[in-house]
């Protein structure tokens, strides 16, 4: 039996152990603080993605896709304090490895070598970088109902750098502004050059259609057939120019929204020549053996919610290809799922984004989409994502919004979705004659559906976009109706989006709905344009008037808390007039849609509950004022916005 230690001996032992523990702790801290320095960087491997990563994420796991001839025969090693390989996965193709890394908390940013060893062969070395995050996660604030979003088709907006118009290394090698489906030369530099115009108009966020490489043989201008998820299309510019666009926007208090695609890629994507796994794509066997037997999506988006939907309808919806030139990605493959999630986070961090717009939201595997959105929102709690759900049924739109109590228990983690239902009803309301169930009542009843939404103000509303006929065309060239459509989306409890060129009445009358035409060139974006909408040179009086109208309305909205977050009260349309109020603290905004020609008398007693009796209101367009008494005289058809502010 051991004899008990004397008190002094015990104290000495405890002291020694304490010193030893502190010494170990200091050694670890010093090892972490003094991360190894790479003298010469090497990149012996064909491809590793993500291209880099960052320290300090909540999720400390990172999965690297490694692509190199017969790389599956090699064993990777890393030597960097706080970074370890958890697991190595071989793919079905011998030319891939997937490496799971663990990045411990509080390690320094730096570069380290990944060494790939194979018997009787020279080691392959790839220098990988972990960067310091330049912005706190909480400071990535997404777009919201205080914003007005300007949607741009970059190839058609402005050509700021003519030297990148053609790239001979890519399949489509021409620029032809006479070809509606060809490339026209618009680029990132063109958007950056005209940020002052966008800012002065009153927009607070920009959403360019995808700017990543689309190395397709034709019609690649739109950006939705990506052939490299980590590369800016050189015809649009460089990564540095993309980053600069974001920074210049932020300097003006504007947010950059990135258009992303998780559902599909372009048929010329680099991995299509050597797919990592046998199930990387939906219908992969058919694609490899007989492309003629591929089936396209049935586009029956209701299959995601339909409790009676057949398995075949569900499969045709999510596994069908969007179009034959866009291979459908299989997000049920866990490696592809991780790849797409990390890619989105990489772009958020690289560009310091103010939001993501996710294309064709209901088409991918919906459980993956919940994981995707959840992973992003977990890292960036104040961020925002809007998903494209092209449905005219509010129940389907509501299903995809985070917080909606769905019958099947599905939680999307998606903050915002797109209000195609409201878009359709606004257009119908303004085209139809007034009746008990037609005309303005369509807007009234559409807004009454907001009880179905978890957060109506987070939903994105619009009059048109890059996939549908322009609103001026939809409203048959009626300027007054177009103004009414715009004033409506800008006063509703929503986040509004406006398509570039709407401010100058751009249209597609010659071929309504034709994508190449409705994505027309913005006049003044090219040096030889005779009309310049940026300066006003050559615009018609009607175009100048619309531009001024929208500018006034947007800049008013920018400073209206009542519109940003006020409560909404509306009154059923009566005698061709629909009235809606937005109210917040000491501010009341009154929006009036009047479809009557000539003078109309509005009896104000009906709106007594708003509490404006004897108050002075100002018309934000004319700056004329009136005192709220018994009646309000409206002198013409159109929209009227009145402001009361204490």
- Are the C-beta atoms of residues 83 and 111 closer than 8 Å to each other? no
Contact (CB, 8 A) for 544 and 533: no
Residue position matching structure tokens 């939809």: 474
Q: Helices 541-558 and 479-489, interaxial angle, to 10°?
A: 10
Residue 208 to residues 118, 144, 218, 519, Cα–Cα distance (Å)? 45, 17, 20, 12
Nearest to 439 by CA among 571, 598, 569, 578: 578
Q: E strands of 585-635, at which residues?
A: 587-594, 600-603, 616-619, 625-627, 631-634
Joined together, the tokens standing for residue 544 give 């100048």
Pair 466, 472: CB distance under 8 Å:
no
Positions marked catalytic: 359, 388
Nearest to 152 by CA among 222, 208, 202, 210: 208
β-pairing, 638-645 vs 587-594, is antiparallel
Residue-wise DSSP of 335-372: HHHHHHHHHHHHHHHHHT-S-EEETTTTSS-HHHHHHH
Among the listed residues 179, 129, 126, the one whose alpha carbon sits nearest the alpha carbon of residue 155: 179
For the purposes of burial, counting CB atoms within 10 Å of the CB of 301, is it exposed (0-12), middle (13-18) or buried (19 or more)? buried
Q: How far apart are CA 60 and CA 206, in angstroms?
A: 31
Say whether 223 sits in a helix, a strand or coil.
Answer: coil
CA 554: distance to chain centroid?
21
């Amino acid at each position: 039996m051991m004899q008990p230690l004397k008190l002094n001996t015990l104290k000495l032992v405890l002291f020694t152990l304490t010193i030893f523990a502190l010494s170990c702790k200091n050694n670890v801290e010093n090892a972490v603080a003094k991360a190894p320095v790479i003298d010469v960087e090497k990149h012996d491997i064909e491809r590793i993605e993500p291209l880099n990563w960052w320290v300090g994420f909540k999720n400390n796991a990172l999965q690297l896709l490694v692509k190199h001839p017969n790389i599956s025969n090699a064993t990777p090693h890393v030597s960097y304090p706080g970074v370890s390989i958890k697991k190595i996965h071989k793919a079905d193709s011998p030319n891939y490895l997937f490496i799971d890394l663990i990045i411990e908390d509080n390690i320094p940013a730096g570069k380290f070598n990944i060494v790939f060893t194979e018997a009787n062969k020279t080691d392959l070395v790839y220098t990988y970088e972990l960067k310091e995050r330049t912005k706190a996660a909480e400071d990535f604030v997404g777009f919201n109902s205080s914003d007005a979003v300007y949607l741009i088709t970059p190839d058609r907006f402005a050509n700021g750098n003519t030297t990148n118009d053609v790239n001979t290394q890519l399949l489509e090698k021409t620029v032809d502004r006479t070809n509606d489906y060809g490339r026209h030369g618009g680029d990132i530099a063109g958007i950056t050059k005209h940020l002052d115009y966008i800012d002065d108009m009153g927009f607070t966020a920009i959403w360019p259609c995808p700017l990543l490489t689309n190395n397709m043989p034709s019609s690649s201008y739109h950006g939705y057939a990506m052939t490299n998820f980590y590369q800016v299309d050189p015809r649009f510019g460089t990564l540095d120019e993309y980053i600069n666009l974001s920074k210049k926007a932020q300097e003006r208090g504007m947010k950059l929204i990135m258009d992303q695609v998780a559902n599909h890629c372009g048929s010329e994507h680099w991995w299509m020549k050597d797919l990592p796994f046998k199930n990387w794509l939906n219908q992969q066997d058919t694609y490899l053996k007989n492309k003629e037997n591929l089936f396209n999506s049935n586009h029956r988006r209701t299959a995601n919610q339909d409790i009676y939907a057949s398995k075949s309808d569900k499969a045709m919806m999510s596994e069908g290809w969007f179009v034959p030139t866009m291979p459908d990605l299989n997000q049920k493959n866990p490696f592809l799922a991780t790849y797409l999630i990390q890619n989105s986070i990489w772009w958020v961090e690289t560009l310091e984004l103010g939001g993501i717009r996710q294309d064709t939201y209901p088409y991918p595997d919906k459980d993956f989409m919940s994981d995707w959105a959840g992973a992003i929102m977990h890292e960036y709690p104040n961020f925002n994502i809007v998903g494209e759900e092209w449905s005219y049924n509010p129940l389907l739109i509501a299903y995809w919004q985070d917080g909606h109590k769905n019958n099947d228990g599905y939680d999307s983690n998606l903050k915002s979705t797109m209000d195609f239902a409201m878009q359709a009803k606004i257009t119908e309301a303004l085209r139809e004659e007034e009746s008990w169930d037609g005309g303005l009542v369509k807007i009234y009843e559409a807004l009454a559906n907001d009880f179905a939404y978890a957060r109506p103000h987070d939903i994105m509303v619009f009059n048109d976009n890059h996939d549908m006929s322009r609103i001026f065309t939809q409203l048959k060239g009626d300027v007054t109706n177009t103004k009414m459509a715009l004033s409506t989306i800008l006063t509703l409890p929503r986040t509004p989006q406006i398509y570039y060129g709407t401010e100058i009445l751009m249209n597609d009358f010659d071929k309504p709905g034709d994508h190449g035409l409705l994505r027309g060139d913005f006049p003044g974006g090219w040096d030889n344009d005779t009309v310049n909408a940026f300066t006003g040179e050559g615009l018609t009086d009607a175009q100048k008037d619309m531009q001024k109208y929208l500018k006034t309305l947007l800049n008013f909205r920018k400073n209206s808390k009542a519109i940003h977050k006020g409560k909404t009260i509306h009154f059923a349309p009566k005698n061709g007039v629909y009235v809606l109020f937005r109210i917040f603290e000491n501010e009341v905004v009154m929006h009036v849609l009047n479809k009557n020609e000539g003078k109309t008398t509005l009896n104000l007693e009906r709106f007594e509950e708003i509490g404006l009796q004897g108050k002075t209101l100002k018309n934000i367009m004319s700056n004329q004022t009136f005192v709220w008494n018994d009646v309000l005289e409206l002198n013409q058809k159109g929209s009227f916005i009145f402001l009361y502010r204490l």
